[in-house]
Structure 1
Amino acid sequence: MDPEFAPLVRALELYVPLRGPGGAALSVHHRGQLVADIAIGTRDRAGAPMEPDTLVMCLSTAKGVTATLLHIVADRGELDLDAPVARYWPEFAQGGKGGITVSELVSHRAGLYAVRPLIDQIEDIYDWPRMVEALARAAPAHAPGRDFGYHAWTFGWLVGELLQRATGASFTDLLRECIAEPLGLEGLYIGLPEHERARVAQTIEWGSTKLGFSTPGGSGRLRRAAGASVEVAGRAARALGLRFDPSDMVGAMLPRGLSSLDLNSPVFLRAVIPSLNGVFDARSLSRLYAALAGGGELDGVRLMSRAAIERARADQNVGLGRVIPFPLRVKMGYHRPISLGLRVSVRGRSKDLGIASADAFGHFGLGGSGAWADPERELGVAVVTNCFAGRLPADLRTVGVCTAAAFAADRRAR
């Protein structure tokens, strides 16, 4: 490990509990060089150690990988970001969606975030034709392009089907041929192959392997109380003039039967759900984002042009969206990482120490995994974890890693 990046060990320790199972791995590339590659804690409840090449199911971290694949395909001329999605996927024009563009779709501006109306049981998420047909028939929740709502589940089927229609290749083949093979990545999967199952860490989530959200099927009293709480919160948000609507959040984030979804089940891991079941090791994610931080190239391998990256990382929305009450600074399939630090001025030049630059982009998943590129610093960082809470709760842990990585890169650059 480069000495300047040694403080990241302390930041990574916040990911794991003081007692009990859980682990995390962190990989950092700076200026094209691997400068940190560490793992701590356990990969399962039995106490097996987490390793740098351990595969971890990273939930929405997959969206950033899926978005990168789309931008590579577009940069090759097989997809026009300004074209209507229906040019490639004619059935998509149903429900008044004929004018939705590829850029609006990948930027969460299509208004197709509601997943609850699309499925009857959680097992429906494994049926790709069913999900894409339902989305093709769906009507947007708002005028496309005029608002923003995080497509927590639907992003993967929408962007994945678009890619398949535009190229004629399967999503998994595209991921392998466009990203994994050129960069020599041995831990980048959306749709885990059977031969890699032994490398996968056990997801440890609040004492269970299931997401544990309360969904219909619980007591009628609890459902009525939850519904009343959503309505009250919605009225409060509207009174404050916020775009966020709790009912949109429920519709986008909580499909029917979610409480029975086992994140460790073989059927979930091998399914292709490009919005949320990516299985990655930190080293592969870091290497991918190092290429993006380096203008689209790493070790002589060019994934996409600098112009494509400039467009991909441009802000598409600021402020609160309709689904998540947090300013994500959404870009074209990515969002800006969150960090803390100080703004200083040296010789008339302003510098953000420890703060992820305005150019930084990536994607994080519920539970703490995530990866991002910081082109200003030529920094690619990835952290993967199999436990939803450590010495800091859930996603707050990523703030510490983002901050420590930025400070370390600034020190090393000096």
Structure 2
Amino acid sequence: MGSATTINKAALQALRDRARRDVDAGLAFGGVEGCSIALAKDGDILWEEGFGAARADTPILLLSITKTVFESALWQLFAGSLKPEDRVLEIIPDFMSGTAPDLTIGMLETHMGGFPWAPLDFPEAADRDTRLAAFREWRTDRKPGEAYEYHPLCVGWVLAEIVERVSGVDYRTFLKRQVLEPLGLSGVNGVSLGEPIAALQDVLLHHNCMYGWAPDRSKRVPMVYGLDSYEGLALGTPGAGGVGTASGVARLYQAYLSNPGELWNPAIHRDAISRTRINGPDPVGRPMLRTLSFLQAGPPEGRFGERDVFGSAVSERTFGHGGQGGQIAWADPDTGLSFCYLTNTVVFPPFCFHPRARELSSLAAQVLDR
């Protein structure tokens, strides 16, 4: 909170009230157990706060926001011999037993791979040999590059294998050493992936209420990859298993805006946050805008479907990503503001389509005095 930026107190109060509203509603009525918000600008946290069971510094599962964390490690490799246009088979020769020769790394990152629901789950995914065996058995549902369809989890494992083969380092360690530690963000109270169970004891574990709330946790449908357990979080699922705080994510997105010390090659960094690579419909015809690693806000009239999470008040250049249950992280190059909202509760509707993300983003974008 050390920034000289002036905050609109009424707008901030409206944001706080909206975050608190879902806690006050209660789990039994579609609310959340805990949540946290953070706003940052010029590298500083402007405001951070926790509600319900969460404090501002309570670690929470990042779900699909994790994708934008992990892919920043790939940007490091793109400064060398690796390129988004490289074919996956050049790095993993037996991937899909050679049946997808034209599949590229860029297609994986932009959800154009054509295999969104390839099967793999916890605890099997914890074993690399099992993952590689699954890779060989997977097949595409459509030609890679033909159409956009969100790949929730499977692509992350392929990207993790690529990181390991190119760098010679465990994918979790590579992310930590090359990105999170240099930024001073490493650890569950910042941003992390695959920390040991002993380091995860303060995490506010997730409630999966997508199919309805039940007071007995054992009666609820478990989350994929064991993401509602310490064991599952320790695995470090690269597409949805990150752990951190809202302030840690907001600070990371500040780094995505400024590229401090040129941590990433400047051309690669600009490409990752601003070059539109996907501009077309999703499977049900909603307008989709994506860079290599992020959703783009684009024109307000097109912000529905996955882009709904940006709300109505950010600039068109804003980039970010949602997470199941209404989580959201974004950065706006026009204002320099970054925002993150985390919650440990997944309710219907699934994925990132809960209206709370849209409403919170719209309020957060108005917190700066203009």
Same fold (TM over 0.5): yes
Which residue of 77, 82, 88 maps to 1:79?
A: 82
CA distance in 2, matches of 1:169, 1:202: 29
Q: Does the CA contact (< 8 Å) of 1:78 and 1:166 recur in 2?
A: no
The count of aligned residue pairs is: 339
* 1:64-143 pair list within 5 angstroms: 64-74=68-78, 76-92=79-95, 94-115=97-118, 118-119=119-120, 123-143=123-143
- 1:23-62 aligned within 5 A: 23-42=34-53, 50-62=54-66
Q: How has the CA–CA distance of structure 1 residues 397 and 29 changed in structure 2, closer, same or farther, with 3 Å as cutoff?
A: same
- In the other structure, the counterpart of 2:18 is 11
Q: 1:92 to 1:378 in 2, by over 3 A?
A: same
Matches of 1:389 and 1:38, distance apart in 2: 22
Alignment partner, residue 306 of structure 2: none
> What displacement does 1:89 show?
2.2
Task: Confirm or deny: 8 A CA contact 1:210 1:260 kept in the other structure.
Answer: no
Q: Secondary structure at the match of 1:164?
A: helix
Q: Is residue 280 of structure 1 aligned with residue 280 of structure 2?
A: no
Amino acid at match of 1:63: K
CA distance in structure 2 between the aligned counterparts of 1:89 and 1:353, rounded to whole angstroms:
39
**CA positional deviation for 1:170:** 0.5
One-letter identity of the residue aligned with 1:35:
L
Cα 1:310/1:176, change in 2 over 3 Å: same
Distance 1:327 1:265, change over 3 A: same
For 2:235 and 2:82, the matched residues in 1 are separated by 25
TM-score, normalised by the number of residues in structure 2:
0.81
Structure 1 residues 6 and 141: CA distance shift in structure 2, 3 A: same
Q: Which residue of 2 aligns with 1:182?
A: 182
Is 1:292–1:375's contact at 8 Å kept on the other side of the alignment? no
Q: Which runs of 4+ in 1 moved over 6 A?
A: 258-261, 338-341
Cα 1:288/1:353, change in 2 over 3 Å: closer
State the percentage of identical aligned residues: 23
**Does the 8 Å CA contact 1:339/1:355 hold for their aligned counterparts?**
no
Matches of residues 192-341 of structure 1 in structure 2 within 5 Å? 192-206=195-209, 207=213, 209=217, 262-294=226-258, 296-297=259-260, 301-313=261-273, 314-322=275-283, 326-336=286-296
Gaps of 5+ in 1: 43-49, 214-257, 342-351
Contact 2:23/2:33, CA 8 A, preserved across alignment = yes
Per the normalisation by structure 1, the TM-score is 0.73
**Per-residue deviation, 1:128:** 3.4
- Distance (Å, rounded) in 2 between the aligned partners of 1:370 and 1:163: 26
Structure 2 distance, partners of 1:32, 1:103, is 29
What CA distance in whole angstroms lies between the structure 2 residues aligned with 1:181 and 1:170?
15
State which of 299, 317, 324 in structure 2 corresponds to 1:359: 317
Structure 2 residue ranges without an equivalent (≥5): 302-309
3-state DSSP of counterpart to 1:318: strand
Q: State the AA in 2 paired with 1:315.
A: T
Structure 2 distance, partners of 1:39, 1:145, is: 41
Q: How big is the shift at 1:123?
A: 3.5
Q: How big is the alpha-carbon RMSD for the aligned residues of Structure 1 and Structure 2?
A: 3.0
Cα distance between partner residues in 1 of 2:299 and 2:198:
37
> Aligned pair in 2 of structure 1 residues 263, 114: CA closer, same or farther (>3 Å)?
closer
Measured in 2, the distance between the counterparts of 1:158 and 1:95 equals: 14
